[in-house]
């Protein structure tokens, strides 16, 4: 079942002199199986928005439906928060800072245990989750999380969320602070998790070039509102408005736009590097230049998987 958000507004420190509006009448619908990118500069409301989706922030006004669970400002009936949190997995920024247990396997099993599973079941799920994020539970399961490298720690933290088998996976800047190779690996991991475990994925990102390689829809927040929510081909025609709210066009789109000004038309449906590469190949062939096909533009080849 999809996620439906209607008229959601929220203010921090409501009713005090420090009251600060964070969300202002937000309407969003997200269907099952989508890969959503959420963008917006710091303070635009995107983190407040995602924290509503698994009940970390209680609704002040408006309503939310997540996989059949209804969230409103009413106290009763109380929503099934346990079910909500196993349905919507949330990976925060720098999740590796939240590892706490003595061993990796115990840390990852913490979530499923809290869902009420037996110790054996919880550990089995934890082992499965570790394998899903590309770690060997036999090798690192009994080690202390703090002995691992930064990239491994982040994977363990993601495994802790995956162990609850969420249908919807939300990640807040999952590649922040990683080196380029680590970024590539985490983004490939997220694609694998989408295929094998959590069909709906929502990622907050600051990097247009990165997110357009993966997402099939972008939702842009500004000043607590949804500023843009439309197909990317349409969205990137609003370059100036995006710039006004602190977002740059993906470099592939600005390249295509600038070439258009010089009289070379590559088409107006380019949203990422793959699209630009294919358009260049097509344009070259139309001009009688021979060249091979480009399936996708990657740097590390298949080993990034």
- Please identify which residue in 184, 193, 219, 271 interacts with another protein, judged by CB under 8 A: 184
Stretch of 3-11, 135-143, 192-200, 255-263 contacting another protein, by CB under 8 A: 255-263
Q: How far apart are CA 130 and CA 142, in angstroms?
A: 12
- Cβ nearer to another protein, comparing 90 with 256: 256
CB 264 within 8 A of CB 287: no
Query: Pattern of binders to another protein over 25-54, x per CB under 8 A?
Result: ----------------xx------------
CB 230 within 8 A of CB 219: no
- Total binding residues toward another protein, as defined by CB under 8 A: 45
CB 200 within 8 A of CB 30: yes
- Cβ nearer to another protein, comparing 80 with 274: 274
- Please identify which residue in 176, 191, 197, 230 interacts with another protein, judged by CB under 8 A: 176
- Residue 13 in contact with another protein, rule: CB under 8 A: no
- Residue 209 in contact with another protein, rule: CB under 8 A: yes
Q: How far apart are CA 221 and CA 237, in angstroms?
A: 17
- Please identify which residue in 33, 68, 116, 180 interacts with another protein, judged by CB under 8 A: 180
- Residue 267 in contact with another protein, rule: CB under 8 A: no
What is the number of alpha carbons within 13 Å of residue 180 lying toward its C-beta?
A: 4
Question: Checking DSSP bridges between strand 35-39 and strand 217-222, what pairing results, if any?
Answer: parallel
- Residue 245 in contact with another protein, rule: CB under 8 A: no
- Residue 255 in contact with another protein, rule: CB under 8 A: yes
Stretch of 60-68, 73-81, 130-138, 282-290 contacting another protein, by CB under 8 A: 282-290
Q: Name the minimum Å distance from CB 291 to another protein.
A: 4
CB 95 within 8 A of CB 31: no
Task: List the interface residues with another protein, window 101-160 (CB under 8 A).
Answer: 149-151
* Binding-site ranges for another protein (CB under 8 A): 41-42, 149-151, 176-182, 184, 206-207, 209, 246, 248, 251-252, 254-255, 258-259, 262, 264, 273, 276-277, 280-281, 283-284, 287, 289-294, 297-301
């Amino acid at each position: 079942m999809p996620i439906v958000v209607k008229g959601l507004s929220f203010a921090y420190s409501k009713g005090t002199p420090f009251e600060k509006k964070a969300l202002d009448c937000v309407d969003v619908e997200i269907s099952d199986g989508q890969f959503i990118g959420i963008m917006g500069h710091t303070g635009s409301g995107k983190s407040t928005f995602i924290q509503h989706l698994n009940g970390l922030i209680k609704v002040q006004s408006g309503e939310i439906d997540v996989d059949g669970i209804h969230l409103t400002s009413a106290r009763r009936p109380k929503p099934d928060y346990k079910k909500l949190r196993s349905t919507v997995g949330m990976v925060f920024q720098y999740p590796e800072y939240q590892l706490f247990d003595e061993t990796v396997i115990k840390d990852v099993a913490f979530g499923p245990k809290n869902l009420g599973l037996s110790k054996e079941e919880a550990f089995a799920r934890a082992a499965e989750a570790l394998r899903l994020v590309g770690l060997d539970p036999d090798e690192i399961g009994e080690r202390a999380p703090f002995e691992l490298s930064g990239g491994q720690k982040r994977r363990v933290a993601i495994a802790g969320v995956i162990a609850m088998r969420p249908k919807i996976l939300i990640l807040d800047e999952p590649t922040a602070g990683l080196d380029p190779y680590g970024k590539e690996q985490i983004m490939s991991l997220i694609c694998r998790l989408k295929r094998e475990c959590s069909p709906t994925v929502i990622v907050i990102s600051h990097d247009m070039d990165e997110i357009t390689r993966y997402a099939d829809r972008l939702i842009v927040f500004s000043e607590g509102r949804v500023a843009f929510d439309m197909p990317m081909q349409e969205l990137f025609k609003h370059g100036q408005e995006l710039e006004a709210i602190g977002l740059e066009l993906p470099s592939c789109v600005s390249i295509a736009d600038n070439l258009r000004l010089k009289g070379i038309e590559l088409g107006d449906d380019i949203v990422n590097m793959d699209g630009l590469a294919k358009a260049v190949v097509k344009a070259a062939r139309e001009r009688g230049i021979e060249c091979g096909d480009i399936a996708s533009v990657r740097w590390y080849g298949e080993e990034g998987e």
